[in-house]
Chains A and B, each alone.
Chain A
């Protein structure tokens, strides 16, 4: 069974600094996808970034990058130059082998607080 582990319940970072949110996963599939979602205090789920298991380069989206280490089964999210608006819950998620479905398995989340 697939499993996502986020070991950091909470993280603190100062504005303009970089922060890394940890995510490890467990799967026996060779083909899978990894996602990061942001949930601000308003409650909506916002897609941030995606990494496919066969992608050779780490995914990047603006200030977000995914540090993908396949052998270690880790998919850490790196936020550069943190902003106050980055304060939110962050969820790592994994999709099963390509079926067309997006049946995601989520981690328990990391709450990030960005201070001025």
Chain B
């Protein structure tokens, strides 16, 4: 299994509070991603990183920011959580492995915003 650790795995917070989710990898993969999973929507890309301090927006980036100060860590921050951000968040990593490179996912972090 790919060495990806997400923390926290479960969090309940209140509307308006800041939340940071951490993704840590031990694979030295270049690319890291944050997805959210919601019923009826599958997984949607929030932000991704293609190197230290290199990040870009995905499909549903509003209300989220990210940072990557080290190869192994990718942080997702909700500056002011809203109930619409209640979701399961998945971190994923990949490397350039020919044409069939796949995404390796973390175990997910379930966030509930009350």
The chain A residues found within 8 Å of chain B, CB to CB, are: 4, 33, 35, 43-45, 47, 50, 52, 91, 93, 98, 100-109
Residues 30-79 of B at the A interface (beta carbon under 8 Å): 30-31, 33, 35, 40-45, 48, 50, 58-59
Tell me the count of chain B residues lying within 8 A, CB to CB, of chain A: 28
Q: Out of B30, B40, B102, B104, which one reaches A50, CB within 8 Å?
A: B102
Q: Does B88 contact A (CB under 8 A)?
A: yes
Which A residues touch B50, using CB under 8 A? 100-101
Cα of A93 to Cα of B90 in the assembled complex, Å:
15
Question: Could you list some 26 contacts between A and B, CB below 8 A?
Answer: A4-B42, A33-B100, A35-B103, A43-B107, A43-B108, A44-B107, A45-B43, A45-B103, A47-B102, A50-B100, A52-B99, A98-B99, A100-B31, A101-B94, A102-B31, A102-B92, A102-B101, A102-B103, A103-B33, A103-B45, A103-B58, A104-B103, A105-B59, A106-B43, A108-B40, A108-B41
Number of A-B contacts (CB under 8 A): 61
B42 CB contacts on chain A under 8 angstroms: 4, 91, 106-109
